[in-house]
Structure 1
Amino acid sequence: MLGGGGFSEYFSVNRPHKMEMEGVTELGVEGPYVRSLGDVNSVIRHAKLSRSDLKETSQVLYFSSEFPEYKLFECDGVLLKHLEGGGELYVRGRPTDKAVVCTRDQTYDLKSAETSNSLLLVPGLKMADEVPASGTARKVEDEVESEGVIEEKRIVGVYGEYFELKKIKPRMGRLQALLSARPYNGPENEVDVSEETADAKTYTLPGLLEEVQASEGEIRRHLDELEALEINGRWRVLDHEYQFRALSFLLNLVEGNSWPPDGVPIGETMSTLNGLVPDVILDHICRVYLQPTEDFNEDGDKLYRLHEFKICRFLGESLLKPVDKFNLDDFLTAWSSSVPAGLQTDLKQLDGLAMYDENTNPPVIWYFPETKLPEDLSERFQELFQQRRAWSLEQIAPYVASFATEKQTVNALLTKHARSANVGGRKMYSARHGK
């Protein structure tokens, strides 16, 4: 029996004995015995309590004759509000994946947990603030007692296990792997969807939602970070060489017309390049590598500026990918010469994309993209310290920043997975269990 507050809030649970199971009450509860108000008041007197000090309503619990199959989830206030507002949850991933649960915009890890106390599922059970205070009182055996009300509730489940939902960073490695398996490299190289293989296929957004363990909002944001585009209803990334060719058309046009980096007329650009690449690719290249300004030229054409960071980063990657290691000074010269006039290269533009060592003779730089590292953080640190025994914060941060959260910063991750030492007045990080 559950009442709203005080002793009677957790009063008793009636489980009938085997000898009482001949009849069934109108509630469908095994056993003929139903608690009365007199039973309730009797227990209150034995507990040396006054009925007037307790809530008026007492809720008596009975075990239902049938237990429907339910699963219990523990969720935070944000997730609870989402569900109370009619929001949906989606379980994502392949059958062999560890399950995650997603809303439209967040991803939660799903883990089973046990509790030493049994959890009872009671539909319609009232909490303390939902039960009215004590009402009128009457004289019973020289004691003042309120009349009291009994409400019967049925227990439809007893649980010693539940599921915990913990907000996590989405696992996006698979998204990039799926898109990279079939990059777009021109209409002449496209095949019909029916001819695609399981290892190299294209995906619609619903198809990606079935494969990738992340919410739709997070997937859409990561598609934008990957500079993916939708072609004929399917999400694609551009083949690097094909993207280089398309970008070269744009940069050659800018150089040929001697346009300043912040004075590229978008209308003339689009009309001139129309036909050199498909319209959807031209729109994509201009969206990624041009930024709108507030200015117009004398013909009323809106002016755009070259996106310095993205152009320099892409051209730097193009120089590094084909070679094992590059003389650092030679690379910096070639890189600076490859970008349009007015754009400045900086090694910071290659964070998470390349590593360099200024202590060798000569200094060298090589291609080392963050996207090729393991998604498991411990495995990632292990590989990073195999590549380099000691890292500065500036060097290692781009390779672990994707794991950082509001509560767990890059510094916190390094404290947990690495050890620090002061080397020549500079803080360096190395393997926690290094030899």
Structure 2
Amino acid sequence: MRTLEEVQATVQIAKLQEEDLQKTIHCLSFGENVLSADYCLMELDETLCQHVEAGESLVIRGDADERAVLCSGDTTYNLKMADTSNLLLFVPGCKIPDQLPESQDSPHLLHTQIWGFCSSYWELRKQRPQLRKLKQLLMENPYKGSTLRGQEENTGTLYTMLDLLERIQASEEELQAQLQTIHACLVDGYWRMLDFDYEMTLMGHVTQLVDSESWSFNKVSLATEMIEHWLNCYGKRYTENELVFYALDEDKVCRATALLLLQNAVKFNLREFQEVWQQSVPEGMGTRLDQLKSLALVDRGSGPDTICLLRVEDLSEDTLERFNHLFTLREKWTEADITPYVKDLCGEKQTTGALLTKYARSSMLNGVKVFNSRRPVAT
């Protein structure tokens, strides 16, 4: 190891002035058997630093065929390897000037050992959670109601929250939010998606109960556990005189009814659909086309107006693939029509306008701004 005299001699050879330097001098040396592959460095922002310092964990998630992501308790980050021209040294216990005593009058030598080194590090950027797989996994074994005596329940795979966290590239908070969005329910410790027919049966039970009891749609009381789950999905819970009631959400009920009508039809005459749709919803509720954003697409281009099922959840999570698919379905889109199908692709602080500018070309058609593909699309 170097002595203080050797260090001072080196300073003189380098033509440096000692008074311009810190009084504490770090003398670095490599530990035994140090290899560059011993450690990986990761750059953390202030939020993640506080997260780690608070004793919370960071988890890397991804199957073998997926790009790995890093998740905190509430956010998902993209992992990208960044190279640097400067060699990065891993020096535990190394003190920066702010951590050194100010009262030192004479130079002081501090021997510090290097534990590892590398010329690259992991760079983190916030990204959208990859949630498409969640519904696919839960639909392997949808819940169709309590098993009747003499009937065997579907023996497909069931998933606990821990199982889902192992498979889904999302933070726990993002995963919980998506489970609510897709109306999943916890049955015997496993997360289950309701079978669509069963979900519609529950809706029928509720609306029939409301009709038979002459209740208001804004004051529905509980029945069974599954009815309560359905009411939580399609209504808002409140209490009155210490009793629990639910106010049904008109838009959600009308939207679910439209899905029931459209799921088995390739295209539906718009006028006929609107008539059947209004007749199918509970009396007192009103249907509107704006209730179907990101669920159905209206075509007013040629002949009689039509409507067809087009759910945003069925589209690719990849931005370029999403736009290419949309432009194969329709050559030109108005901003109002395309926005519901791309707004979930927007990154942090990104607007749909910026997204459309990047992935589509705008033009005017009969005085209306429309968007089409930036490249020829195979049909």
Instruction: Quote the residue 2:175 is aligned against.
Output: 219
State the secondary structure of the residue aligned to 1:111. strand
Structure 1: where are the runs of 5+ without partners?
Answer: 1-33, 137-146, 271-278
Distance 1:302 1:166 in 2: 44
Instruction: Quote the residue 1:207 is aligned against.
Output: 163
Instruction: Quote the residue 1:376 is aligned against.
Output: 318
- Given that 1:52 and 1:134 are in contact with CA atoms closer than 8 Å, whether structure 2 keeps it comes out as no
Tell which deviates more after alignment, 54-63 or 380-389. 54-63
Instruction: Quote the residue 2:62 is aligned against.
Output: 93
Distance 2:249 2:183 in 1: 14
1:203-255 Cα offsets, whole Å, 9 max, x none, are 11111111111111110010001111011111111111111111101001112
Counterpart residue type for residue 288 of structure 1: C
Question: How far did residue 57 of structure 1 move?
Answer: 0.6
Larger radius of gyration: 1
Instruction: Quote the residue 2:225 is aligned against.
Output: 280
Distance 1:186 1:391 in 2: 41
Question: How far did residue 131 of structure 1 move?
Answer: 2.3
- Specify which of 184, 193, 217 is matched with residue 228 of structure 1: 184
Distance 2:267 2:163 in 1: 38
Question: How far did residue 384 of structure 1 move?
Answer: 0.3
Counterpart residue type for residue 45 of structure 1: Q
Q: For residues 255-270 of structure 1, what are the structure 2 equivalents within 5 Å?
A: 255-264=211-220, 266=221, 269-270=222-223
Distance 2:270 2:250 in 1: 21
1:322-353 Cα offsets, whole Å, 9 max, x none, are 11111000000111111122211111111111
**Does the alignment pair 1:167 with 2:126?**
yes
Instruction: Quote the residue 2:237 is aligned against.
Output: 292
Instruction: Quote the residue 1:188 is aligned against.
Output: 147
Distance 1:67 1:186, change over 3 A: same
Instruction: Quote the residue 2:79 is aligned against.
Output: 110
- Given that 1:55 and 1:134 are in contact with CA atoms closer than 8 Å, whether structure 2 keeps it comes out as no
Instruction: Quote the residue 1:433 is aligned against.
Output: 375
Instruction: Quote the residue 2:43 is aligned against.
Output: 74
Distance 2:73 2:369 in 1: 41
Distance 1:191 1:37 in 2: 81
Distance 1:326 1:304, change over 3 A: same
Counterpart residue type for residue 419 of structure 1: R
Question: How far did residue 100 of structure 1 move?
Answer: 0.9
- Given that 1:54 and 1:134 are in contact with CA atoms closer than 8 Å, whether structure 2 keeps it comes out as no
Distance 1:282 1:317 in 2: 20
Distance 1:132 1:188 in 2: 72
State the secondary structure of the residue aligned to 1:97. coil
- Given that 2:231 and 2:248 are in contact with CA atoms closer than 8 Å, whether structure 1 keeps it comes out as no
Distance 1:293 1:209 in 2: 32
Distance 2:58 2:345 in 1: 24
State the secondary structure of the residue aligned to 1:244. helix
- Given that 2:206 and 2:227 are in contact with CA atoms closer than 8 Å, whether structure 1 keeps it comes out as no
- Given that 1:56 and 1:131 are in contact with CA atoms closer than 8 Å, whether structure 2 keeps it comes out as no
**Does the alignment pair 1:64 with 2:31?**
yes
- Given that 1:121 and 1:157 are in contact with CA atoms closer than 8 Å, whether structure 2 keeps it comes out as yes
Instruction: Quote the residue 1:149 is aligned against.
Output: 108
TM-score of the pair, normalised by structure 1: 0.81
Instruction: Quote the residue 1:124 is aligned against.
Output: 93
Moved over 6 A (4+): none
Distance 1:55 1:324, change over 3 A: same
Question: How far did residue 191 of structure 1 move?
Answer: 4.8
Counterpart residue type for residue 387 of structure 1: L
- Given that 1:74 and 1:162 are in contact with CA atoms closer than 8 Å, whether structure 2 keeps it comes out as yes
1:356-380 Cα offsets, whole Å, 9 max, x none, are 1123221100111111111211011
- Given that 1:55 and 1:131 are in contact with CA atoms closer than 8 Å, whether structure 2 keeps it comes out as no
- Given that 1:261 and 1:341 are in contact with CA atoms closer than 8 Å, whether structure 2 keeps it comes out as no
Distance 1:360 1:409 in 2: 31
State the secondary structure of the residue aligned to 1:73. coil
Question: How far did residue 109 of structure 1 move?
Answer: 1.2
Distance 1:192 1:361, change over 3 A: closer
TM-score of the pair, normalised by structure 2: 0.93
CA RMSD of aligned residues (A): 2.0
Question: Percent of aligned positions with the same letter in both sequences?
Answer: 37
State the secondary structure of the residue aligned to 1:287. helix
Distance 1:240 1:422 in 2: 41
Tell which deviates more after alignment, 153-162 or 314-323. 153-162
Tell which deviates more after alignment, 102-111 or 379-388. 102-111
Counterpart residue type for residue 76 of structure 1: D
Distance 2:122 2:348 in 1: 24
1:301-326 Cα offsets, whole Å, 9 max, x none, are 55432211110100011011111111
Distance 1:207 1:358, change over 3 A: same
- Given that 1:260 and 1:342 are in contact with CA atoms closer than 8 Å, whether structure 2 keeps it comes out as no
- Specify which of 185, 188, 210 is matched with residue 254 of structure 1: 210
- Specify which of 273, 286, 308 is matched with residue 344 of structure 1: 286
Counterpart residue type for residue 227 of structure 2: L
Distance 2:44 2:104 in 1: 37
- Given that 1:185 and 1:238 are in contact with CA atoms closer than 8 Å, whether structure 2 keeps it comes out as yes
Tell which deviates more after alignment, 168-177 or 180-189. 180-189
- Given that 2:147 and 2:153 are in contact with CA atoms closer than 8 Å, whether structure 1 keeps it comes out as no
Instruction: Quote the residue 1:243 is aligned against.
Output: 199
